[in-house]
Amino acid sequence: MKVVIFNVGAALSAYVETDNKKIVIDLGKSSDFSPVNDFLLPLFKKRGEEKYSGDKYYLSQVFISHPHQDHISDLSDLDEHFYIDLYTTPNDLTIGADAHRKNVNWDLVDDPDSADVKKVKEVYKGRQLPLRVSLPTKMTLGYMYPGDVEGNETLINESYTNNISLVLYIHAGYKILFAADVQKEGMKQLLEDDKELKKKISQGVDFLVCPHHGLRSSFSTELFDAMKDGKTKKLNIVSEKSATDDKRNVDSRYSSTDYCEGDNNLSTEENIVCQRKTSQGHIFIDDDGTVTVESDIKKIIDKF
């Protein structure tokens, strides 16, 4: 498995290749970096990948964890150039008795009339969208139904849109957890409700892509309590940008050995490295779990 978590400022986007699957996880972009135009298209062109449908390249799966602009702003460009085999996102396609629990209430989503949010719905228009994974033997999806979040005063006040996020655990060689933007109380409730996700996490988390960009308001002790040994084994990864605004400060516990063993190639006997931020560069994890932080995306393209 190869993974890259892009430097897209206070947004999130990542790309995973494992078992011949090509998977995009969220699609935030920054003013100077587009995951689609600066990584995916150059990578596929360099490889000489054949077009799959019309003039589009093939992707096995695209996860949009939740409809916030910092996770979806590059979706239009992706849809223009790529065919998505399985598109997985909170949606409003359920019919029948459970529809009120499973469907997104767009009136509660932040900025529902934005072009980016409309694009999320446009891409899944006409599709059947069970929330599933393209590699069920090595991927586990966790989430709370939007209706359950809506019906919980604590969770809806914390953030309806963040707490309906899809969480993804991939166990293919090493184990990596993408915690999306689930907030503190939301993570506590998710782990109480989703026994399968909690069971997987208890088997260990090597790499954690920290919830809600590592902000203090979303640090979850319950998440670490659920992990084997109560901490990540290798590294906590924070998608963030440098800021003076105290509200955007990253929780210092992510860089503490109390919450990460630091068993990675970046650590030395004198300096145990428990955290890396995407503001330091694009973070690449190779098949053997070796971590590289690169400002030059071309060097990461060469690693794929």
Note the pLDDT tens digit of each residue in 180-234: 999 999 999 999 999 999 999 999 999 999 999 999 889 999 999 999 999 999 9
Residues contacting 1, CB < 8 A, separation 6+: 16, 17, 18, 170, 172, 173, 174, 285, 287
Q: Which domain holds residue 111?
A: 2-303
pLDDT surpassing 80 at residue 243: no
Question: How far out from the chain centre does Cα 296 lie?
Answer: 22
- pTM for the complete prediction? 0.96
Total tally of structural domains belonging to the chain? 1
Listing from the earlier edge strand, what are the strands of the sheet with 13-18?
82-88, 57-63, 21-27, 13-18, 2-5, 282-285, 291-294
Q: Which CATH number goes with the domain that contains 263?
A: 3.60.15.10
Q: Using one digit for the tens of pLDDT, what is the confidence trace for 114-156?
A: 999 999 999 988 666 678 999 999 999 999 999 999 999 999 9
Q: Using one digit for the tens of pLDDT, what is the confidence trace for 146-159?
A: 999 999 999 999 99
Averaged pLDDT score across all residues of the chain? 94
Give the C-alpha separation, 232 to 223, whole Å.
10
